[in-house]
Amino acid sequence: MTRVPFAVALVLATGALAVLPDRAPGCATVPHRDERVETSDEGALIVWDEATRTEHFVRRASFRSTGYDFGFLVPTPNRPDLDVADYSLFGELAALTAAKVEYREVTREVPADFWPGCGAKSASRAEPASDLAAGKADAPGGVEVLEQKRVGDYDATVLIFRKGAGDTAASGAAALELWLAKHGYETPPAVRAWLARYVADQWCITAFKIAAPDAKNAPKLAPNPARTARHDLSAKPIRMSFKTDRPFYPYREPETEPTAQPIKDGRLLRVFVAAKGRVSGALGDGAKPWPGRTVWADALNSPRAESLFALGKLNAPVEVEGLRVIEPPKAAAGWWLTEFEDTSSPRPGTDEVFFAPSADQAAVARPTVYVDRTRLVTVTPWWHVAVYIALPVVLVMGGLGAWRALRR
């Protein structure tokens, strides 16, 4: 595949979105023309620092794609600071919120071997437990590239459409489409309409491009609209820090195209929110329900919070053009972690999911998992005793009878 600078090669394609809008992550996935991409697993950590009105958004996702690279777009209210987070962050989160495991001993009696000397001599034994898994304000109207940088396994470009005199959301989206078309990429109608909302709100769009680790050596695929080969792609989690009035997850997705193929398999989204108390989530203004449900919530002690912040690269201030704009969250008392799971497919991705303090501040835990450890106890059945006693008696009596017979 021809390599072009990502600043002028935002990865958008018409055909692929038409067949996979329901698999797009909470934003917009944009593969190349005639290629297909699916989100196989995704998760996010949101750290909401209310004192500074700052959201730290760490996202991790794994994909299956027919191509070796593709892109996705993430909207934010303003220019974000980008950095790569530690890959072990979500493993620690999963371990922290995993279900409690309790082992129970179950006694099961087994008959002893009939013939002495056969089988195990031990009276009891324990079976092993089952394995468990766990800008520029005065810039003229038009598309402006705010930043380009390499972030972990991604090439990232931060874009914004600056409104000029007479510009509307529709004309801004058209300008973005024209900007992309000039650089050899087409914008499907679904993404064009998706962009118009953020143009109207003057939000930034961060475009990420992910490439497989062996992309340089990957074989070139022959043009074929019906490609079926799948490549599992994953990358390091990315941290985006930005100012906002309300913490949110970018849940809004392009509308489903009429030609979209139904998605048979579900997908799991896990969203962890660290804030000063338990939070609840709502889709947009709350008029429509969000299918995400709270599966875990509890207070974090300071060492645990500090560990999570360090893995998310939140332990250093962020400076833009020499000005400190984002302070790291303070690992003090009062931090809570709330985990949500969303298994809906297709998702009601009509708006962002916003988080606010929950009316219920009680802790939530997953149901306890009970693992039975079976203790086998060897018992001797009554008929064994009868046989063991009767057999010697029969032998003795038979011997005496034979001895008497011989004497006669």
pLDDT score of 371: 82
Domain around 393: 378-407
User: Are the CB atoms for 46 and 247 separated by under 8 Å?
Assistant: yes
35 with 69: CB under 8 angstroms? Answer: no
Residue 46 lies in a domain: yes
Strands (E), 231-368: 231-234, 238-243, 248-249, 269-275, 279-283, 293-299, 318-320, 323-326, 336-342, 353-357
The verdict on 257 and 382 lying in the same domain is no
- Do residues 62 and 82 both lie within one domain? yes
Name the domain count of the chain: 2
- Find, among 63, 22, 34, 21, the residue nearest to 211 by Cα: 63
Q: Hey, what are 255's tokens?
A: 């509308």
Statement to judge: residues 401 and 317 lie in one domain = no
Residue 135 scores a pLDDT above 60? no
User: How large is the angle between the packed helices 89-96 and 302-311, nearest 10 degrees?
Assistant: 150
* One domain, residues 309 and 263: yes
22 and 141 share one domain: yes
- Determine which of 90-94, 304-308, 316-320, 347-351 has the lowest per-residue pLDDT on average: 316-320
Q: How far apart are CA 113 and CA 122, in angstroms?
A: 12
367 & 397 share domain? no
Residue 40 lies in a domain: yes
What are the tens digits of pLDDT across the range 255-301?
765 444 544 456 789 999 999 999 999 999 988 899 999 999 999 99
For the chain, the average pLDDT equals 75
State the pLDDT at residue 134.
Answer: 37
From residue 399, give the alpha-carbon distance in Å to each of 74, 186, 387, 390, 405: 95, 103, 18, 14, 10
Residue 128 lies inside a defined structural domain of this protein: no
What is residue 16's three-state secondary structure?
helix
Identify whether residues 233 and 103 lie together within a single domain.
yes
Overall size of the chain counted in residues = 408
Residues 348 and 400 in one domain: no
Both structure tokens of 144: 């402006």
What's the pLDDT tens digit per position in 170-214?
888 878 777 666 654 556 778 888 889 999 999 998 988 765 454
pLDDT at 350: 92
Task: Please give the torsion angle defined by the CA atoms of residues 56, 62, 67 and 68, in that order, rounded to the nearest 10 degrees.
Answer: 70
